[in-house]
Amino acid sequence: MPAVEKALVAAHQEVAQGLYEIEVLAPQIASGARPGQFVHVRPGGTSDPLLRRPLSLYDVDQELGSITLLYKVVGRGTELLSRVKSREYIDMMGPLGRGFTLPQTGQSILLIGGGVGIAPLIYLARVLKAQDCTVQAAYGAASLQDAAVYQRKFQQLGIEAWPATMDGSLGYQGTVVGLLHQMAPAIKIDMIYTCGPEGMMKAVTDYAQSHQIPGEVSLEETMACGVGACLGCARKLKPEDADYAKVCKDGPVFSMDLMA
């Protein structure tokens, strides 16, 4: 149920350098939250930073009413957030946006993530497993440390995951796009879901489209309201589109069909 909640921080730790996992109790937001949706978090109580920060649902436990987020510290907002201690509260709004379209049960799914863009794919993976899909994941990580975090998480979910690191310290040496081209032809793929850097998602979309595989991408754009009211998070999906999509409301997940 969408709400603004004071969410109690149950656990908060730096799982790799600058990468944090935070679990909060937010039963209203958790109930009905779907993979691919996000929450809008207020970092700190003063006017600077002012706006909420969008963070994807990394994992949700609807029974416990808990939400887990995975985030990289990149600026002031995430830096402030990283200082919140267990037992404190954070101001959270959500769930927001249009999540991933779930496939029919039993299908073969490939998840392709880049960096912290892997976050929404984890919750998606959990839900896909629950509906008996065959889920495989390929992802790129900036460091061995980061990769270890993602790998562990996929393992916990019982998902076969292929890492790619630029230095080859874990898995494929190179980008996840290189990995994709190497591995994908050998496996059955009914649908692709991807989230990560723009360039990566573009390459994944190209691959999927050229192989007639349906797929979805999760986009990012600077946001103010998060609900479609301010029209700030505009994105022209294809150059020939007349109108701008609103990433917060029409997305953040979009069908690859809508993309250039």
Partner 1 sequence: MHKDAAISKPGPDISVNLGGLWMKNPVAAASGTFGYGFEYQDYIDSASIGAVIVKGTTLEKRVGNPPPRICETAAGMLNAIGLENPGVEVFVTEYLPRLRQHGVTVVANIAGNTVEDYEHTAAIIDKQSGVAAIELNISCPNVKQGGLQFGTDPAMVEAVVAAVKARTSLPVIPKLSPNVTDIVTIARAAQRGGADALAMINTLLGMAIDIKTRRPVLGNVFGGLSGPAIKPVALRMIYQVYREVDLPILGGGGIVNTADALEFIMAGATAVSIGTGLFVNPTLPAELSLGIKQYLTEHGLDKIGDLVGAAHRF
Ligand X SMILES: Cc1cc2nc3c(=O)[nH]c(=O)nc-3n(C[C@H](O)[C@H](O)[C@H](O)COP(=O)(O)O)c2cc1C
Site string for ligand FAD, 90-119 (x = CB under 6 A): --------------------------x--x
Cα 72 to Cα 13, 141, 163, 185, 230: the distances in Å are 12, 12, 19, 32, 26
Contact 226, 4 (CB under 8 A): no
* Residue 47 in contact with its own copies, rule: CB under 8 A: yes
For ligand FES, the binding residues (CB under 6 A) are: 223-226, 228-233, 246, 248-249
| 36-65 residues near partner 1, rule: CB under 8 A | 42, 47-52
* Residue 71 in contact with ligand FAD, rule: CB under 6 A: yes
Least separation in angstroms between CB 63 and ligand FAD: 22
* Residue 49 in contact with ligand FAD, rule: CB under 6 A: yes
* Residue 80 in contact with its own copies, rule: CB under 8 A: yes
Burial of residue 13 (number of CB atoms within 10 Å: 0-12, 13-18, 19+): exposed
Site string for ligand FAD, 191-220 (x = CB under 6 A): -----------------------------x
- Sign of torsion, CA 88 93 97 102? positive
Q: Where are the alpha helices (DSSP H) in the chain?
A: 27-30, 76-82, 119-130, 144-156, 176-183, 198-210
Contact 187, 136 (CB under 8 A): yes
To 5 degrees, how large is the angle CA 201–CA 228–CA 249?
A: 40
Residue 32: name the closest of 91, 90, 94, 93 by CA: 94
> Which residue lies nearer to ligand X by CB, 214 or 232?
232
Selected binder of ligand X within 50, 166, 230, 234 (CB under 6 A): 230
Q: Omega before 49 cis (within 30°)? A: yes
**Gyration radius (Cα) of the chain, Å:** 18
Least separation in angstroms between CB 229 and ligand X: 8
* Token code pair at residue 111: 């998840």
* Residue 217 in contact with partner 1, rule: CB under 8 A: no
Selected binder of ligand FAD within 55, 67, 128, 161 (CB under 6 A): 55
Which residues are at the interface with ligand FAD (CB under 6 A)?
A: 38, 49, 51, 53-56, 69-72, 74-78, 116, 119, 220-223, 252
Which residues are at the interface with partner 1 (CB under 8 A)?
A: 1-4, 42, 47-52, 93, 221-236, 242-244, 249
Which residues are at the interface with ligand X (CB under 6 A)?
A: 230, 232
